[in-house]
A and B are shown apart, each in its own frame.
Chain A
Amino acid sequence: MTTTRAAARAVTQTATRATTRPHPLRLLALRTWLPVVLIVWWWLASAGSRSLYFPPLSTILETLQHDWLGPGLTANLLPSLGKFLAGFLIAAACGIVFGLLIGMSRTLAAAVEPIVQFLRSLPPPVLLPIGILVFGIGAPMNIAIIAFGAVWPTLLNTIDGVRSLDSQVRDMSRSYRLTLGQRVRYIVVPNAGPQIFAGLRTTLQISIILIVVSEMVASVNGIGYYLLNSQQTFAVPQTWAGTLLLGALGYVANLLFLRIESRVLRWHSGMRAASGKDA
């Protein structure tokens, strides 16, 4: 286990140079050593297991490879990812667009705020029965449930972000006679950016939850469907494999999201670092 030893060395070296930023490789080692240790421990501890509920990790990984990288890729994984992505993007777009409108118009805000507050208080899974009635079983229903359930954090954060605009910035944009389009593009949206992204992050998490839940009850393919089906047929390695896969997908999705966020909000992280709020 050279990796862990390198990691251990990295830990001590980082500790002695606590004030400087660790080298990227060292940082990577620092982050990966615990997962590696856990996986190795699981592998060794479960090797030769005869328990029905806790099959060996090797069996689980074989199942994972067979079910998800073989025919399962097109049968279950890609449909799930497609529905998830569609639902998330619809939620994100609706949240941002309506958030901008509501945030900028007091009249509209007064008119729709009670409805928004009511709808967002509904736990998203509550909508499953009605969703099935309206859309039947399948992709449109899954996407609709994700979009409807996950839109709220982005919507509310966008409204809040738009309203947080400093009065002096507003005066500045008026006195320099910026057009409405310029104000939205160069001032309102970037100003709300950090809050919009905070909302999108929650929207992303809810989307992942809802794709699984909605596929469990109302789909004929996808990860959620596979997961519940395997559990009901006592295909325990499959259940474990699906769970691991979901964890990995959520992790990767979050990682990609953070990448995009730090790109778009580079000014914000730079500013926070400059003011010493974030190291």
Chain B
Amino acid sequence: MTTQPTTTEPNPGAPNPAAPATPPFGDVLLELEQLRKSYGSTQILDGVDLSVRRGEFVCIVGPSGSGKTTLLKCMAGLLDPSGGRTVFEGETVTEPPAKLAVVFQDYSRSLLLWMTVAANIGLPLKNKLPKAGRPARIEEVLRAVGLSGKGGLYPWQMSGGMQQRAAIARGLAYQPDVLLMDEPFAAVDAQTRIELEDLVLRVRQDFDTTVIFVTHDIDEAVYLGDRVIILSGAPTKVTRNITVDLPRPRDQRDTKLLPDYARLRAEVFELIQAAQSHASIA
């Protein structure tokens, strides 16, 4: 690790995962305090600290098997931690919060196959919005993800990329304060992935949403995030918290040509490699 200027902590030996992000972001929206999770004697999360501010786009990367999905489920209130806690908008999370939405990894298993895309998006709105207001909201998010006029299709009539767009639209329609995304593009082809990355950046801008994005893809993390959180192998801790100060709007070609992009990418890569080799020794 030869370069350090963009990390929030100049001393690589003493990581400070809860370090505040750069000024333009709002108050702390979601906070993990010494989050632990173990199944029986197997410890998955070993005291994860993380702080996400309103408006931030935070990417979480880690070697495979580092408990990324477990971490996300604890954040979403879908799993009870064994120790520590998640605080969302000032309250300890004990069940899925109303202002938080999750886009799951496998769209083919999270969209309901017996409902049209519009009905899939409308289902979570039943407890949020009176019936008369739903069609307009559904149309709005469909337009935002480029599926205008496709609401009448069933998920199985769509390509994988379109299905994940629909799943994102469902999350957006819910109007969450934070959108958690669990490796959402892991199952789509490279071209579609590029389109969807830019889509997420755009809707994040349009809908003013905070995004926590879990991925194993280093390029994706650096390209999308305001910060990249690097996890160790299991039992998982935060090893580093890197601020990505690349200019916005990001561009698939121009951003990736920047020397800073290459440097950040290399840095994240080295940290992941270190985490992975450490995990395999342990």
Contacts and interface: CB of A to CB of B under 8 A. Distances in A.
Interface of A: 166, 168-169, 171-172, 174-179, 182, 186-187, 190-191, 193, 267-268, 270-271, 274-275
A41 to B, nearest CB: 46
Contact of B101 (A176, A178, A179, A186): A176
Interface residues of B, number: 27
Contacts of A178: 123-124, 126-127
Given A168-B106, A186-B123, A271-B156, A175 B112 contact: no
A166 B109 contact: yes
Contact of B113 (A176, A182, A271): A271
A169 B111 CA distance: 8
19 contacts: A168-B104, A168-B106, A168-B109, A169-B110, A172-B110, A175-B76, A175-B102, A176-B96, A176-B123, A178-B124, A178-B126, A178-B127, A182-B127, A186-B123, A187-B112, A268-B113, A271-B113, A271-B154, A274-B156
Contacts of A172: 102, 104, 110
A87 B149 CA distance: 46
Interface of B: 73, 76-78, 95-96, 98, 100-102, 104-106, 109-110, 112-115, 123-124, 126-127, 154, 156-157, 174
Contact of B156 (A168, A186, A270): A270
B153 to A, nearest CB: 11
B133 to A, nearest CB: 17
Contacts of A175: 76-78, 96, 100-102
A43 to B, nearest CB: 48
Contacts of B174: 176
Main secondary structure of the interface of B (DSSP, over half): loop
Given A175-B78, A190-B114, 18 more contacts: A168-B104, A168-B105, A169-B112, A171-B73, A171-B102, A171-B110, A175-B101, A175-B102, A176-B96, A177-B124, A177-B127, A178-B123, A178-B124, A178-B126, A191-B114, A270-B157, A271-B113, A271-B156
A191 B114 CA distance: 8
Given A168-B104, A172-B104, A270 B124 contact: no
8 closest residue pairs by CB, A with B:
A176-B124, A190-B114, A168-B109, A271-B156, A267-B114, A175-B96, A175-B102, A172-B110
B112 A186 contact: yes
Contacts of B157: 270, 274
Given A172-B104, A270-B154, A271-B154, A177 B98 contact: yes
Contacts, number: 69
A57 to B, nearest CB: 47
A268 B104 CA distance: 23
A168 B154 contact: no
A193 B76 CA distance: 30
A178 B101 CA distance: 12
A190 B120 CA distance: 13
A193 B96 CA distance: 28
Contacts of A267: 113-115, 154
Contact of A171 (B78, B98, B123, B127): B78
Nearest to B157: A274
A178 B125 CA distance: 9
Contacts of B114: 190-191, 193, 267-268
Contacts of B109: 166, 168-169
Nearest to A268: B114
Contacts of B100: 175
Nearest to B125: A176
A256 B45 CA distance: 56
A186 B123 CA distance: 8
A274 B159 CA distance: 12
Nearest to A193: B114
A253 to B, nearest CB: 26
Nearest to A171: B78
B110 A168 contact: yes
A171 B104 contact: yes
B157 to A, nearest CB: 6
Contacts of A187: 112
